[in-house]
A and B are shown apart, each in its own frame.
Chain A
Amino acid sequence: MGETSDNAAEAPIEMLDAQIRHPDIVSSWRVNGINWRVGAGEFWAVGGLHWSGKTNLLLTAAGINLRYRGRLRLFGRELADMTEEERLRERLRVGVVFGGDGRLMPDRSIAENVALPLRYLRGVDDEEMEERVGFVLDRLGLMDVARDPAGGVDLGRRRRAALARAVVLRPEAVLFDQPLEGLDPRQRAWWRKLLCSLREGHELVDNRPVALVVATEDLRPWLDVADRFALLDEGRFHAVGDRRALEECGLLIARELLEHETTRN
């Protein structure tokens, strides 16, 4: 373990000849041909239409959905070769921010939701926990709703709370599932700005650069922000490359996600 933890240059996520299934539907393969390497400090935007397997891809890349075939490495280590404890340890170096309402526990306060992983995994004392949670909530503008139940706050703050829950453990890579969906322009700008600073090193993650992956149905907001692009189309994964490669790749799905106007029937 120590060997991999020290080796910060290892790619946080690497998938080779991988296929993934839906975690609940075992009848068919959902995405095929995944050859993907997310390097340390890289910012990937993965575009795909609705129900194309974006969330599954993120869950598999984070080592949560284990219904996959092929090779999956987290920080240079093969997931299949790890014991459950080792897998958990490597998994926690990758944070996941879910879309929609952020999948928080609605009957618990925002602060409790954010503190839960710390309390469960690290068993930190109340003082240290309050300090860390308070710091994260403050930096994400959530102090005024810290004591409110998660189910009672607006969508934008719930999603920020989901981000807070993911970064409270100081991950080295963070995966976002449609972070801008349903947000107003001001909040969208806030998210883009924050993600840029996370990549470069934000105080939330001890000023270390973090590898980022954003799954989205609209690539336009990410064109100036992300430095690598991938596409999910009809069960195939295409790691396209940089912005220029995306614009010149000739794939219909790329045009659709860039113009956000489908040409298919």
Chain B
Amino acid sequence: MESETTNVGAFRQRDVTAFFAPAKFGFITRQFLILSQAVFGLGAFAFLTVSVGLAKLFRSRNVVWPEIRRQILVGGVRQIPIATFMALALGFVVAGQLLVLKTVTGVQSQAYAGGAIVTIVVRELGFMTITLLALARNGTSMVIELGTARVRGQTQALQAAGIDPIHFLVVPRVIGQGLSVFCLSFGFNVVTTVSAWVFLYALGFTLPAIEYADQLVANLRPLDFLFLAVKPAMFGAVVGCVCCFQGLMRPTRLEHIAAATTTAVVETVVICVLLDAVFVGLFYLV
């Protein structure tokens, strides 16, 4: 009897890739098969993470919950300064663009300030910026950290000590990233919205705060509030999941880690953009 492991490494299927590699298959076919394999692997890993997370939600709380707190500290709290700076900068950019619009076309662009902020920042740029920030600052280090742990056999040592690497290493990172991106996105949107108004004033626009607030409220739909909660949390979880997958499942040698990091960045961006398109479609339909 051969037992197939369900632990770390179970979803790598390099043999399949090797089989399909010969030139008898066309380039596009091969790329499609490699893509399918990546999608299947990542999907299975995400499913495993969710299953383990739910099944062991209250198990080993004294170890796993502090890990989640640590991830929130690293991935959320420590990113507040850079996120604030970027929010201020984005507020300035939006105000500057409205000034350009007014100067070039003569349109009283302050009338559209609230709409521009809601459409550009709150619905799209806000959480996308935070997601990219999380990916660049936490995701990449996650791939390297977990990849090194895997190559050096530390994950195997955890298994030997009875510790589930998915529960101990992956679940806290996915939850931590989800919560961090959610909270940072909320703060980012607030700071950008306020800073855009401040910069509008500084650039000579006359837009009373009440009127600006009215514009914001008029442009927000009930669905926005749902998406404001769901999208950033989901995107953060995608960052955590993809980076853990690439770190924990892909590298078997140290030299694989660089490639795994690049793949994690590309995969995360592609998945987030695709998910965003789905949300836009839902927003349009509902």
Interface residues of A (CB under 8 A from B): 23-24, 26-27, 59, 62, 64-71, 79-80, 88, 91-92, 95-96, 98, 100-105, 116-117, 119-121, 123, 162, 165-166, 169
| Residues of chain A with a CB closer than 8 A to B159's CB | 64
Interface bracket on B? 20 to 34
Q: Mark B138-172, 1 if CB is under 8 A from A, else 0.
A: 00000000000100111011011111000010000
How far, in angstroms, from A66 to B1 measured CA to CA in the complex? 10
- Answer whether residue B63 sits at the interface, using C-beta atoms and an 8 A cutoff: yes
Residue B62 at the A interface, CB < 8 A?
Answer: yes
- In the bound assembly, the distance between CA atoms of A96 and B5 in angstroms comes to 18
Instruction: Select from chain A the residue with minimum beta-carbon distance to B1.
Output: A80
* CA–CA, A169 and B162, complex, Å: 10
Give the total number of A-B pairs whose CB atoms are below 8 A apart.
83
Contact sample, A vs B, 9 pairs, CB 8 Å cutoff? A23-B5, A59-B156, A59-B160, A65-B5, A67-B4, A80-B1, A98-B156, A120-B162, A162-B157
Known: A23-B5, A80-B1. A120 touches B160 (CB 8 A): no
A117 & B60 in contact (Cβ 8 Å cutoff): no
Query: How far, in angstroms, from A145 to B60 measured CA to CA in the complex?
Result: 26
Docked pose: A105 CA to B145 CA in angstroms = 11
Assess whether A68 is in contact with B156, with CB atoms less than 8 Å apart.
Answer: no
Chain B residues with a Cβ under 8 A of chain A: 1-5, 7, 9, 12, 15, 60-63, 149, 152-154, 156-157, 159-163, 168, 252
CB pair B156 A64 closer than 8 Å: yes
Smallest CB–CB gap between B260 and chain A, Å? 14
Does A103 contact B5, Cβ atoms closer than 8 Å? no
Q: Which of B3, B7, B152, B163 contacts A117 (CB 8 A)?
A: B163
Measured in the bound complex, the distance between the Cα atoms of B225 and A149 in whole Å is 45
Smallest beta-carbon distance B1→chain A, Å: 5
Closest A-chain residue to B61, C-beta based?
A: A123
Interface contact B168-A120, CB-CB below 8 Å: yes
Closest Cβ neighbor of A121 among chain B residues:
B162
Asked whether A117 and B2 contact (CB < 8 A) given A98-B153, A103-B156, A103-B157, the answer is: no
Report the minimal beta-carbon distance from B168 to chain A, rounded to whole angstroms.
7
Contact of A91 among B9, B60, B157, B162 (CB under 8 A): B162
Residues from chain B with Cβ under 8 Å of A166 in the complex = 160-161
Choose one: A24, A67, A92; the contact of B3 (CB below 8 Å). A67
| Given A66-B3, A117-B162, A169-B162, A26-B15 contact (CB < 8 Å) | yes
Nearest chain A residue, comparing its CB with the CB of B167? A120
Give every chain A residue within 8 A of B160 (Cβ-Cβ).
Answer: 59, 62, 64, 95-96, 98, 166
**By CB atoms of chain B within 10 A, which of A70, A105, A120 has the most?**
A120
- Is B163 touching A66 in the complex (CB atoms < 8 A)? no
Smallest CB gap from B161: residue in A: A117
Contact A68-B2, Cβ < 8 Å, known A119-B63, A120-B163: yes
